């Protein structure tokens, strides 16, 4: 990546916010459409890919591919077509006028269109061991990491739709899944509950919170506390999947773009938001499946929609 250069009065065709899979795909399609594009990334490319080690479900890699290698390959591919990728964090935006303004930490970007691909992050438990064992038994993605735990005991934390649905999914691989919930009643939809209750490989620990994730080279178990009795216990597991909510990165939009009740950006099929010339792609968007494949699809569509918008309105 480069550090930001250029005059503040430079006008881009498109500013893409976020270099996860959606932003990189948007950048690739924008560059191939010969749009004057800049992709802003605050930390490093990859987004949610950084949460996992190995990708087994991205078409085209029969043996799988490391998440880091896939990120590097995606970044290199966008660069091959001349995309400018810049380390800068979008801290504020003004998106309602024809010329959009994205204020970065280092400079101001003016553009005809903006693609918001700022992603989000899984909510964290904030307990000891969670950060240390991420990618070594702590996961936030069952579809990504479940298959690594063939015939192993797993724990799932949470009581919402994600925890119950993903817990059920994990029984395809795991010897057993223990769903740990802080209350004695699930928040998840009844149909998901019924499926989980009927699954002989799932058991529940109610009124229970995780106090610590333990292990050596990888996770070996959890220290738990019953919130009603205060009693502590231990649970031996090889992996713990945490599904206690997801936080889309939309704070910097300061209410300018329409969000759904869960905080995700509402778009149509062409990735158009409620604001002309403003598009959203990837995990930050309201959608049914948050996967690498769908992020890449969103980004590609958003870039072509931005191109079409420019042709029509500029
Ligand atoms: P969610 O509905 O917000 O549920 C989060 C769960 O985590 C709740 O059970 C909550 O407990 C628990 N929790 C929160 N903070 C915690 C903490 N610090 N420690 C322990 N437990 C904690 O999140 P979600 O399941 O990711 O779902 C998000 C949205 O996506 C929802 O609207 C959901 O309906 C939707 N969704 C739908 C589907 C589907 O339809 N198939 C699948 C996935 C998600 P409490 O219940 O005690 O608050």
Q: How far is CA 262 from the centre of its chain?
A: 14
CB-count burial class (<10 Å; 0-12, 13-18, 19+) for 126? exposed
pLDDT (0 to 100) of residue 200: 98
Query: In this predicted structure, what is the pLDDT of residue 186?
Result: 98
C-alpha dihedral, 10 to 14 to 17 to 22, nearest 10°: -150
Q: Please pick, among 88, 144, 298, 307, the residue that the annotation labels catalytic.
A: 144
How many whole angstroms from 161 Cα to the centroid of ligand 1? 6
144 assigned to active site:
yes
Q: What are phi and psi of 185, to 5 degrees?
A: -145, 135
Which residue CA neighbors atom 4 of ligand 1 most closely?
160
Residue nearest to atom 19 of ligand 1 (CA): 125
- What is the separation of C-alpha 209 from the centre of its chain, rounded to a whole number of angstroms? 24
Residues in the chain, total:
314
- Give tens-digit pLDDT for 29-77: 999 999 999 999 988 888 877 766 778 889 999 999 998 999 999 999 9
Task: Sheet containing 232-236: give its strands across.
Answer: 208-215, 219-226, 232-236
Q: Rounded to an integer, what is the distance from CA 94 to the centroid of its chain?
A: 24
| CA-to-CA dists, residue 122 to 245, 284, 288, angstroms | 6, 12, 16
Task: Render pLDDT for 240-254 as a digit per residue (tens, 0 to 9).
Answer: 999 998 899 999 999
Pick out the chain residues at pLDDT < 70.
Answer: 1-8, 51-52
pTM to 2 decimals?
0.76
Told to judge if 260 belongs to the known catalytic residues of this protein, a careful annotator would answer no
Q: Which of 62, 217, 51 is nearest to 119 (CA)?
A: 51
Is 141 a known active-site residue?
Answer: yes
User: What is the Å distance from ligand 1's center to 204 Cα?
Assistant: 16
| Torsion sign across C-alpha atoms 4, 7, 13, 15 | positive
Number of Cβ within 10 Å of residue 295's Cβ equals 29
Quote the pLDDT of residue 8: 65
d(CA 19, CA 42): 9
**φ/ψ of residue 162, rounded to 5:** -60, -50
Does ligand 1 lie within 6 Å of residue 142's CB atom? no
pLDDT score recorded for residue 45: 84
- Helix (H) or strand (E) segment spanning residue 172: none
- Ligand 1 mutation pick, 192, 245, 248, 286, max ligand atoms within 8 A of CB: 245
User: What's the angle, vertex CA 67, arms to CA 243 and CA 88, rounded to 5?
Assistant: 85
**Is any ligand 1 atom within 6 A of the Cβ of residue 191?**
no
């Amino acid at each position: 990546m480069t550090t930001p250069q250029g005059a503040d009065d430079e006008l881009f065709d498109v500013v893409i916010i976020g270099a996860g899979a959606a932003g990189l795909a948007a950048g690739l399609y924008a560059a191939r459409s010969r749009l004057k594009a800049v992709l802003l990334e605050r930390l490093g490319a990859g987004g949610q890919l950084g949460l996992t080690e190995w990708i087994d479900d991205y078409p085209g890699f029969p043996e799988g591919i490391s998440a880091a290698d896939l990120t590097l390959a995606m970044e290199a591919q966008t660069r091959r077509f001349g995309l400018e990728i810049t380390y800068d964090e979008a801290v504020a935006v003004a998106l309602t006028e024809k010329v959009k303004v994205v204020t970065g930490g280092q400079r101001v970007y003016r553009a005809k269109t903006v693609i918001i691909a700022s992603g989000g992050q899984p909510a964290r438990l904030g307990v000891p061991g969670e950060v240390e064992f991420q990618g070594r038994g702590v996961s936030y993605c069952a579809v990504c990491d479940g298959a690594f735990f063939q015939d192993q005991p797993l724990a799932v934390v949470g009581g919402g739709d994600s925890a119950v649905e993903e817990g059920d999914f994990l029984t395809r691989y795991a010897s057993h899944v223990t769903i740990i919930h802080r209350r004695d009643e699930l928040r998840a939809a009844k149909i998901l509950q019924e499926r989980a209750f009927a699954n002989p490989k799932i058991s529940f620990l109610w009124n229970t919170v995780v106090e610590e994730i333990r292990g050596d080279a990888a996770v070996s178990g959890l220290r738990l506390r019953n919130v009603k009795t205060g009693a502590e216990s231990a649970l031996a597991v090889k992996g713990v999947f945490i599904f206690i909510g997801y936080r889309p990165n939309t704070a910097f939009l300061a209410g300018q773009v329409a969000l759904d009740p869960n905080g995700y950006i509402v778009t149509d099929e062409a990735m158009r938001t409620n604001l002309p010339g403003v598009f959203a792609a990837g995990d930050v968007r309201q959608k049914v499946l948050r996967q690498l494949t769908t992020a890449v699809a969103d980004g590609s569509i958003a870039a072509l929609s931005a191109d079409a918008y420019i042709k029509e309105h500029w």
